Amino acid sequence: MKDIKVVIKWSEPIELFKPGKYNTDEKFIDHLRKALMENDSPLLEKNGFFVFLSGDIIPEERLSVVLIGHSYGSSVKEKICKLKGHIRELKCIYRNYKDENLYLKIGIVEQLNEKESEELYNNILCSLVLSNYPSCNEPCKLTALGDIYIRNTGNFSPLKENS
């Protein structure tokens, strides 16, 4: 098996809102989807990885990793807004981070030494989850594609630089 090497460049945080301003998780999820659909950031239209973060960026960045995902085959916006599979994870954000500021960072794959596939993105995601401990991700297992080496660049904090 070949070692898989990937470089992901992360964006500046996109500020969302405090989940607790909505009185049910369904209203929070509906508003999150609406806010993302109305956001015109070109990064949301790209295929890649995303991370929900909670905390503050002013006066200094103090953020916690809440949820990591990928959007292989669609844009980040489409993945978060239209896919039903994230309901449990989004409810976790609502339950556990009601009073926290919520942010989103987008990670774009800049280098990859393998052909892109959903299985490969799932394995990269799993590697990110296993090394960064997001509180709302479901457990995952790597499939035997080879060792994965991830280098995060750009504004990757609080993700680890190397996974």
Nearest CA-CA partner of 11 in 37, 58, 45, 38: 45
pLDDT digits (tens, 9 = 90+) for 120-130: 999 999 999 99
Count of the separate structural domains present in the chain: 1
- Helix, strand, coil share (%) of the chain residues, nearest 5: 35, 30, 35
pTM for the whole thing? 0.92
2-10: average pLDDT: 94
What is the average pLDDT across 125-139? 93
- pLDDT given at position 143: 73
pLDDT in tens, 13-35: 999 988 888 988 889 989 999 99
51 assigned to some structural domain? yes
CB atoms within 10 A of CB 35: 15
pLDDT-derived band at 1, boundaries 50, 70, 90: low
Q: β-strands 4-10, 148-154: how paired? A: parallel
Any domain includes 161 = no
Mean pLDDT of 137-155: 85
* Confidence check: pLDDT of 145 > 90: no
| Three-state secondary structure call for residue 87 | helix
159 lies in a domain? Answer: no
Handedness of CA 7, 161, 105, 146 (dihedral sign): positive
Q: What is the per-residue pLDDT across 35-91, written as a single tens digit (0 to 9) for each?
A: 999 999 999 999 999 999 999 988 777 999 999 999 999 999 999 887 665 688 889
Q: Which of 66, 43, 47, 63 is nearest to 55 (CA)?
A: 63
Q: Which pLDDT value is given to residue 83?
A: 63
Distance separating alpha carbons of residues 51 and 159, to the nearest angstrom: 9
The alpha carbon torsion through 26, 27, 30, 34 (nearest 10 deg) reads: -170
163 belongs to a structural domain: no
Residues spanned by the domain of 126: 4-154
> Rounded distance, CA 122 to CA 116, Å?
11
**Does 162 map to a domain?**
no
